[in-house]
Amino acid sequence: MRTSRRAKLEKIIGYEFRDRSLLDTALTHKSYCYPNKIGSNERLEFLGDSVLQLCVGEYLYLKYPDKDEGLLTRIRSNTVQRDTLAHCARLLKLGSLIKLGPSERNTGGSDKDSILEDAFEALIGALYLDGGLDVARSFVIKCLEDVMCDKRSGFQDSKTRLQELAQAQGAQIEYECMTIEGPPHNRRFTVCVKKDDMVLGTGKGRTKKEAELRAARVALARNDERGNVGVSKKD
């Protein structure tokens, strides 16, 4: 990794690596390894996943002492899901730093959720090995605290919350994929959520699930103060 780009990432993270080979390995995808005879980020991703689960679990345990195990598990699950971690990786611009083999590079691997998620978890593993648990914990909380503290959704994802509101009112909602754009490796989906013939919200995303979540989030934001699932006008 070029020194200037590495330094920029370290500045964003707020941590300077003592062993910079750990950072390089964290951002090396397996597709790059065989022809170059170096190690990939898979082992660091394995470690980082465990550290991530610990840090999120510890944070939730201390933050919400009155919440039961079942609810804390759901919050943690929503926090560490692929879409969320890939989004964090994009905010850090990890995609431009990941070393990829020609095939992955030519098919948009730098923006694939699975590759970004793995790199983000590998980065956590690298931070843990280089700086210890306190450093890794600080990074995890900095990236994910807003997700863990999002009380607006009642600790649920937007689709679940919207569905519960609709069911409570005896209403039926459905999601409709309106458009699919872009090449196979870089799709963009536009989805709307509807009650009867009324559009409650629309959303865009790299997957249908991501687009549906964003559509549901828009619908919830338009929800009136009485909690009715509905809007005064169509999109």
User: Is 121 a catalytic site residue?
Assistant: yes
HSE, side-chain direction, 13 A CA sphere, residue 153: 25
Q: Are 52 and 127 in contact (CB under 8 A)?
A: no
How far does the chain reach from its first CA to its final CA, in angstroms? 45
From 104, 117, 118, 121, the catalytic residue = 121
HSE, side-chain direction, 13 A CA sphere, residue 197: 0
CA pair distance 141, 134, nearest whole angstrom: 11
Find, among 118, 171, 100, 131, the residue nearest to 22 by Cα: 131
From 24, 49, 118, 210, the catalytic residue = 49
User: Is 42 a catalytic site residue?
Assistant: no
Helix (H, G, I), strand (E, B) or coil at 188: strand
CA pair distance 199, 202, nearest whole angstrom: 8
Give the residue numbers annotated as catalytic, written as ranges. 49, 121
